Amino acid sequence: MGQDKLKHYEGVLSAVHTLEYPYTRSVGRVIGTFLAGLREGRILGIRGAGGSVLVPPSEYDPVTTESLTEMLDVGDTGVVTTWSWVEAPRAKHPLQKPFAWALVKLDGATTSLLHAVDAGDEKRMKTGMRVRVRWRAERKGGISDIECFEPAEAKS
């Protein structure tokens, strides 16, 4: 909005308004186990049809619709399959500095998980780059127990 326009609106009221719905919901056995795993610092997937490994896990196979039960640990390192750079994070974003939203295919998984990657600089982001989980010190059983991913070379 240009300065002229702002001047025009001088004297018009504005106020902060927060709308909040405090949803509590049951997550079911599979997601419940996945979340409990995160609290332990583990990432659990589920065996899908044809030997696929779905991470995050789902209760039913997306192709055959068969019920799935076999959960398994996958690695805490993986590969960025696609990403989008966030230059100006919003208040509710997981990182308060520029970061990437990325789909990360963890080692041992067939599907990708959406999370933040703290690469420091957009120039470091590449499709195919290896990343590693950065765990939060205090974990509560939620997806934010993974603070973010970071380039795997950084610590190896």
Partner 1 sequence: MSTQQGRPLPDPIKMVTIPSRLDYTITPGEAPTRFLRGILEGRILAERCPKCGKVYMPPRGSCATCAIPTKEQVELSAKGTVTTFCVVNLPFYGQAVEIPYVCASVVLDGADLPFFCLLAECPVEEVRPGMRVEAVWCEPSERKPSLENIRYMKPTGEPDATYESFKEHL
CA atoms within 13 A on the CB side of 111: 19
Subset of 26-55 contacting partner 1 (CB under 8 A): 26-33, 35-37, 39-40, 42, 44, 47
Distance from first CA to last CA of the chain, Å, rounded?
47
Q: Count of residues binding partner 1 (CB under 8 A)?
A: 41
Report the b/e string of 120-154 with b at 16+ CB within 10 A.
eeeeebeeebbbbbbeeeebeeeeebbbbbbbbee
87-126 footprint of partner 1 as x/- string (CB under 8 A): ----xx----------------------------------
CB of 132 to partner 1, least distance (A): 20
By CB under 8 A, is residue 3 in contact with partner 1?
A: no
Give residues with Cβ within 8 angstroms of 154, minimum separation 6. 132
Shortest CB 59 distance to partner 1, Å: 12
Site of interaction with partner 1 (CB under 8 A): 9, 11-33, 35-37, 39-40, 42, 44, 47, 69-73, 91-92, 141-142
